[in-house]
């Protein structure tokens, strides 16, 4: 058996800028800018078997770029608006084929080699707070500096990324600053809803307490996996995501455990039916119909 060593050279370049306006207690608005460029190279290698979905055997150099403007504004008591225009372009090695855990987590936002501008996030958050226990928030991307109660209930409606609110592992969550591999930037068991650029339209509700948080999201689905067209039949094509997050300390060190469950509904294929219809050459796309479901569970934890 012959074995080959695949070497990938990575150049990661990130720029961040900030502009903000503060009051005595609560920040009224801020603007953050980031640009991430990832360049990957692999040398040529030989392979005994190769196909249309394989990693190309020739040498390759591919780059991806994402440029985002993060705008946040406080509207009225408990209400905050978020607007994030974004530009992305480039490609992954071999059109992101041939590697199950692809090594560039930015390429899932890129649908074409030419840079394009689009709205990544546009949503409104209304939060209701009570209690005397407070947290101090610092100026950050999509976060206004100020005081926040540890006891609250919030509702978010609009377009956003599911990872903005769910599966917030502190050490493996952002391909722009942490692990870039697809299998490490999110819980690998979670088939999260998203369009080809990684965003979704829906609503998320969150109940926060000093030591735990419970959140639930109801979102739309696209007409086909990783597609760009939203399915207008929301009653038949939708997703539900539920997560319970428990925070604790061990010997003074912070830790968090998250239990996540999801159910995706939509126009899906049936592998068993495809095999019955054509045992020699099954085609799951010919069996697509509404009323199909996919569900799963995931556990995530981080410990300082």
What is the helix (H) or strand (E) element at residue 80, kind and residue range? strand 79-90
pLDDT grade for 111, boundaries at 50, 70 and 90: low
pLDDT grade for 248, boundaries at 50, 70 and 90: very high
Residues 123-172: pLDDT tens digits?
Answer: 999 999 999 999 999 999 999 999 999 999 999 999 999 999 999 998 88
Number of domains composing the chain: 1
pTM over 0.95: no
User: What is the torsional sign of CA 196, 199, 204, 210?
Assistant: positive
Residue 1 pLDDT exceeds 50: no
Supply the pLDDT for residue 11.
59
Pairing of strands 200-208, 289-303: unpaired
The mean pLDDT of the chain is 87
Residue 22 pLDDT exceeds 70: no
Is the residue at 247 inside a domain?
A: yes
Residues 59-80: pLDDT tens digits?
Answer: 999 888 889 999 999 999 999 9
Supply the pLDDT for residue 90.
84
Supply the pLDDT for residue 2.
45
pLDDT grade for 20, boundaries at 50, 70 and 90: low
Separation CA 168–CA 62 (nearest Å) = 29
Is the residue at 281 inside a domain?
A: yes
Range scoring the smallest mean pLDDT among 10-14, 203-207, 210-214: 10-14
Separation CA 295–CA 201 (nearest Å) = 19
Alpha helices by DSSP H, 124-253: 182-185
Is the residue at 249 inside a domain?
A: yes
Provide the residue range defining the domain that includes 252.
161-304
Is the residue at 152 inside a domain?
A: no
Supply the pLDDT for residue 166.
95
Is the residue at 175 inside a domain?
A: yes
Supply the pLDDT for residue 149.
93
Alpha-carbon Rg of the chain, whole angstroms?
A: 21
Separation CA 59–CA 250 (nearest Å) = 48
Asked if 69 contacts 18 with a C-beta cutoff of 8 angstroms, the reply is: no
End-to-end CA distance of the chain: 42
Residue 210 pLDDT exceeds 90: yes
Supply the pLDDT for residue 23.
53
Helix, coil or strand: residue 285: helix
Is the residue at 166 inside a domain?
A: yes
Is the residue at 278 inside a domain?
A: yes
Cα dihedral 44→49→55→57 (10° resolution): 20
Is the residue at 178 inside a domain?
A: yes
Range scoring the smallest mean pLDDT among 1-5, 101-105, 118-122, 300-304: 1-5
């Amino acid at each position: 058996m012959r074995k080959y060593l695949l070497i990938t050279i990575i150049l990661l370049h990130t720029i961040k800028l900030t502009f903000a306006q503060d009051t005595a207690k609560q920040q009224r608005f801020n603007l953050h800018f980031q640009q991430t460029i990832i360049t990957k190279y692999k040398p040529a290698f030989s392979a005994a078997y190769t196909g249309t979905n394989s990693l190309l055997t020739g040498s390759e150099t591919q780059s991806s770029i994402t440029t985002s403007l993060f705008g946040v504004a406080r509207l009225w008591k408990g209400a905050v608006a978020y607007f994030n225009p974004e530009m992305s372009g480039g490609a992954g090695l071999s059109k992101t084929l041939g590697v199950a855990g692809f090594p560039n987590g930015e390429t899932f936002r890129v649908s074409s080699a030419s840079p394009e501008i689009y709205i990544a996030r546009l949503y409104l958050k209304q939060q209701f707070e009570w209690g005397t226990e407070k947290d101090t928030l610092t100026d950050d991307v999509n976060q206004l500096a100020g005081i926040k109660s540890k006891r609250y209930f919030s509702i978010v409606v609009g377009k956003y990324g599911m990872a903005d609110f769910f599966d917030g592992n502190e050490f493996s969550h952002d391909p722009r600053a942490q692990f870039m591999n697809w299998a490490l930037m999110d819980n690998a068991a979670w088939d999260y809803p998203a369009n080809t650029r990684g965003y979704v339209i829906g609503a998320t509700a969150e109940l926060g307490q000093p030591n735990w948080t419970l959140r639930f999201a109801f979102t739309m689905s696209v007409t086909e996996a990783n597609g760009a067209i939203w399915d207008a039949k929301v009653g038949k094509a939708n997703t539900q995501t539920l997560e319970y997050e428990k925070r604790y300390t061990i010997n003074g060190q912070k830790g968090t455990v998250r239990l996540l469950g999801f159910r995706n509904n939509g126009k899906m294929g049936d592998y068993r039916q495809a095999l019955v219809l054509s045992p020699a050459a099954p085609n799951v796309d010919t069996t697509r119909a509404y009323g199909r479901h996919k569900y799963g569970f995931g556990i995530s934890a981080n410990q300082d």
